[in-house]
A = this chain, B = another copy of it.
Amino acid sequence: MKVAVIRRAHFNAAHRLHNPAWTDEKNREVFGLCNNPNWHGHNYELEVKVTGEIDPETGMVVDLGWLAGLIDREVEHRFDHKNLNLDTAEFRHLNPTAENICVVIWRILREHLPVQYDLHVRLYETPRNFVEYPA
């Protein structure tokens, strides 16, 4: 009787899409306005889905207070009000596209989640553009 529990969170950050192996011209061509060297930013909305069995004693899959605290400590504290390219180790050498941010958040949380749970992450860059991992 597997149930999925989803918790929403958010963080605000600046970023720039850029591939240092390319010329400036190719970067502008591929990334368009997102390549602005002076950065731009987003209100990122995050949905963390944890799947597992209901514990018959608590009636819960996972303690939502614990999960909210984990997301706060490991994701919001790390990325909120940051420049993803400059201020974080994760994106110093990795292009902070929504796809890459989503996978990075999945890896960070996966390490802290007991092995019996499945984990999925959905990340909204804007209300009209969002990504999911694993697909």
Contact = CB atoms under 8 A, between A and B. Distances in A.
A114 interface: no
A134 B63 CA distance: 19
Number of copies: 6
A109 interface: no
Given A59-B99, A87-B36, A95-B58, A131 B6 contact: yes
Interface string A1-41: 11111111110111101010100000000111110101111
B36 A39 contact: no
B59 A97 contact: yes
28 contacts: A2-B133, A2-B135, A5-B98, A6-B129, A6-B131, A7-B129, A8-B127, A8-B129, A10-B126, A12-B126, A14-B39, A14-B41, A15-B41, A19-B58, A33-B80, A36-B82, A36-B87, A38-B83, A39-B39, A40-B83, A41-B41, A43-B43, A54-B99, A54-B100, A59-B95, A59-B99, A61-B99, A64-B129
Those 9 A-B pairs whose CB atoms lie nearest each other, nearest first: A41-B41, A33-B81, A59-B95, A38-B83, A59-B97, A4-B135, A14-B14, A14-B39, A8-B128
